[in-house]
Structure 1
Amino acid sequence: MTRMRAFALALPLTLTACGGAPGEGDPAGNTASTAGGALMPMNEEAALAENTALAPLPEPPANLAAEDAAMPGIDAPPNPDRSRPVASPSPEPGRDAAARLVRHYYARIAKRDFAAARAMWDDGGSASGLSPEAFAERFERFSEFGVEVGIPDHINAGAGQRYVEVPVRVSGRLKEGEEQFERRGIVTLHRTGDIEGATPAQRQWRIAGAEILPKTESGDAADPAQKAPATDAPAIVIARYDCANGARIIARFDNRAETAMLRRGYQKFGTLEQVRAASGIWYRGEGVELRGKGDQATITLPGEKPVQCEARAR
């Protein structure tokens, strides 16, 4: 037993001899083993102090109300205002856009691109009142064609629809006889307002009517309100009707001859004779009828149902 106690006392001395004297080369008095080339700290307090120095600093509490506090749809509910881009409303086409369309329209006629010009009318061109062939034939007779576009009138708005009149002066030369011509008139444009269900094409200006008057001997455009010498009533009266089906009809009343002529686009509907009416006006003939009182009128065109129309101020 005395021999075992001596062996136990000799063991620390052996380890001390192998590791060096305490405090040698280490001011803290740490004892380390270099077995395998790794430095292994044996002082527990030093190890805890080192780990504490390397620990991350405490973070402030998260502010979930901040704009960039979370990623929408991953660690926070999506923010609807940020997940859906809001489109800013574009302004509706105004009078400048209407004037440009009229210039482009007559420029295409001058270039003899009649199909493209007809397509600038309402309803895919049908509002012109002419078939593609008849439309081309109407302008084929000109060897030269030009236009001066004036300042558009104020835009008339109502029931989601927009109308504007653009004054024009067209001039050119006829193929036959090289006769020069000049006309003044009004081109009426129409479009749908920025309402629900309207397509982008419907929101753009389209031609709804064209009233080009011949020049008088004095060189000015014929005045529809010119008075007859012997009467107080105007000899010629022009009325423009907006109809419930979207049509734009122009009526030319001749008070001397007691007749009327209707036109939709470039399409004319014969001559109507005046009929005595208990009140208001009544014209009919060649399958066409116009009955009205004040600004209201009922117009029937060949093969079509009667439609309610309203005369508008020029």
Structure 2
Amino acid sequence: MRNASPLVVLALLAGCGGGEEAGNNSAGAADAPAVTLMNEEAAEADNAALAPLPEPEANLAAPDASLPGIDAPPLAPRAQPTATPTPEAGRAGAARIVRAYYDRIASGDYAAARAMWDDNGEASGLSPADYAKRFDRFADFKAVVGPAGRIDAGAGQRYVEVPVTVTARMKEGGEVVERRGIVTLHRTGDIEGATPAQQRWRIASAEILPRAPAPLPGSAPVPAPEAETPIITARYACEGGVRLIARFDNAKDEVTLRRGYRALGTLQQQPSGSGIWYKGEGGLELRGKGNAATITIPGGAPLSCEAR
């Protein structure tokens, strides 16, 4: 009898499955998770990229499915070494979403832009009509989107901040305004029970403020304030993906809370033996100590939040 070829021997061994040990491995595979979960190490690996990849401009004439991370599956992992495999959308995908968002505003597609916010657009803080009014006052609108920052991964939630500079010309009067700030995106990680919609990047907040005008040639520099700055801004990440912006005015002992583009109200400071306590109308309340806070919005349950 002729000797069997190595390939045939390997095939026979694979078919036998390696006996009892193979059976044990098969049982273990049935208990393994179907997807690789993103952990802190994987998030750090994604943050460790030396430079962002070049991004093509969004094609607004194409259907939503052409915008990865919105109505299409997340982008495939970029070709770079990672500590552990991760199928989750990274920083490049987040920056692409922000560019698509401002391109929709520039083209006048306000309904589609609002729909890119968390909670089916409600996180913008504006109704569809009010949202359209906010941006329809501009004749020209342009946004320059920078590279996304570090991915904040924890408790099954993902947050990432993207810097933006906006230049627009008002329809009335033709004044050109320039603003810059941070757009924060949120998504649920690839965890058990999370829906595909929850796992896509959505806009959680946009803190876009007027840029300070440049000093005129030959003018004296603006002196630095002698005392501590009375205005402090904190961005709170709350349970359920709710993102709130708090503007503390230490001179007036008050704080203004905002969700998206809508101001929730102004709260007055209250005596507190430990931490901070602010109260507003209708049950609006903020209690905090350190970075942790409990914020109550009228009509809802108290939210556990963390300043970031």
TM-score norm. by structure 1 comes to 0.68
The aligned length equals 238
The answer on 1:237 being equivalent to 2:232 is yes
Name the counterpart of 2:46: none
- Asked if 1 retains the 8 angstrom alpha-carbon contact of 2:204 and 2:241, the reply is no
Query: Residue 66 and residue 283 in structure 1: after superposition, are their counterparts in 2 closer, same or farther (change >3 A)?
Result: same
Post-superposition Cα deviations, 1:14-49, rounded to whole Å, max 9, x if no partner, equal xxxxxxxxxxxxxxxxxxxxxxxxxxxxxxxxxxxx
The answer on 1:247 being equivalent to 2:239 is no
Q: Partner letter of residue 260 of structure 2?
A: G
- Asked if 2 retains the 8 angstrom alpha-carbon contact of 1:251 and 1:260, the reply is yes
In the alignment, structure 2 segments of 5+ residues that lack a partner are: 17-25, 27-33, 37-75, 77-86, 216-222
Measured after TM superposition, the shift of residue 159 of structure 1 is 1.1
Name the counterpart of 2:88: 92
Measured after TM superposition, the shift of residue 102 of structure 1 is 0.3
Which of the numbers 267, 270, 275 marks the counterpart of 1:280?
A: 275
Post-superposition Cα deviations, 1:170-203, rounded to whole Å, max 9, x if no partner, equal 0110111111100000000011112222222222
Name the counterpart of 1:216: 212
Higher relative contact order (CA 8 A, sep 6+): 2
Name the counterpart of 1:207: 203
In the alignment, structure 1 segments of 5+ residues that lack a partner are: 1-59, 71-79, 81-86, 220-226
Name the counterpart of 1:136: 132
Matches of 2:14 and 2:209 in 1, distance apart?
67
Matches of 2:177 and 2:123 in 1, distance apart?
25
Q: Partner letter of residue 184 of structure 2?
A: T
Name the counterpart of 2:22: none
The answer on 1:66 being equivalent to 2:12 is yes
Matches of 2:291 and 2:15 in 1, distance apart?
65
Query: Residue 68 and residue 245 in structure 1: after superposition, are their counterparts in 2 closer, same or farther (change >3 A)?
Result: closer
- Which has the higher Rg, Structure 1 or Structure 2? 1
- Asked if 2 retains the 8 angstrom alpha-carbon contact of 1:144 and 1:174, the reply is yes
Post-superposition Cα deviations, 1:216-275, rounded to whole Å, max 9, x if no partner, equal 2447xxxxxxx98342x3221111111123211110011122221111111111222222
- Asked if 2 retains the 8 angstrom alpha-carbon contact of 1:228 and 1:234, the reply is no
Matches of 2:15 and 2:254 in 1, distance apart?
79
- Asked if 1 retains the 8 angstrom alpha-carbon contact of 2:186 and 2:241, the reply is no
Name the counterpart of 1:271: 266
| Stretches (4+) displaced over 4 A | 62-65, 67-70, 87-90
Post-superposition Cα deviations, 1:47-86, rounded to whole Å, max 9, x if no partner, equal xxxxxxxxxxxxx9x989628979xxxxxxxxx8xxxxxx
Identity, in percent, stands at: 61
Instruction: Report the 3-state secondary structure (helix = DSSP H, G, I; strand = E; otherwise coil) of the residue aligned with 1:99.
Output: helix
Matches of 1:92 and 1:117 in 2, distance apart?
23
Measured after TM superposition, the shift of residue 107 of structure 1 is 0.2
Matches of 2:35 and 2:279 in 1, distance apart?
51
Matches of 1:201 and 1:273 in 2, distance apart?
38
Instruction: Report the 3-state secondary structure (helix = DSSP H, G, I; strand = E; otherwise coil) of the residue aligned with 1:177.
Output: coil
Q: Partner letter of residue 109 of structure 1?
A: I
Query: Residue 99 and residue 67 in structure 1: after superposition, are their counterparts in 2 closer, same or farther (change >3 A)?
Result: same
The answer on 1:302 being equivalent to 2:298 is yes
Which of the numbers 141, 153, 159 marks the counterpart of 1:157?
A: 153
- Asked if 2 retains the 8 angstrom alpha-carbon contact of 1:228 and 1:235, the reply is no
Name the counterpart of 1:27: none
Name the counterpart of 2:103: 107
Post-superposition Cα deviations, 1:131-150, rounded to whole Å, max 9, x if no partner, equal 11111111111111100011
Please give the root-mean-square deviation of Cα atoms over the aligned residues, in Å.
Answer: 3.2
Matches of 2:208 and 2:124 in 1, distance apart?
14
Instruction: Report the 3-state secondary structure (helix = DSSP H, G, I; strand = E; otherwise coil) of the residue aligned with 2:229.
Output: coil
Post-superposition Cα deviations, 1:273-295, rounded to whole Å, max 9, x if no partner, equal 22222222122222221111111
The answer on 1:170 being equivalent to 2:116 is no
- Asked if 2 retains the 8 angstrom alpha-carbon contact of 1:63 and 1:69, the reply is no
TM-score norm. by structure 2 comes to 0.69
Matches of 1:291 and 1:88 in 2, distance apart?
39
Matches of 2:190 and 2:273 in 1, distance apart?
43
Post-superposition Cα deviations, 1:74-110, rounded to whole Å, max 9, x if no partner, equal xxxxxx8xxxxxx997521111101100000000000
- Asked if 2 retains the 8 angstrom alpha-carbon contact of 1:118 and 1:135, the reply is yes
Measured after TM superposition, the shift of residue 204 of structure 1 is 1.6
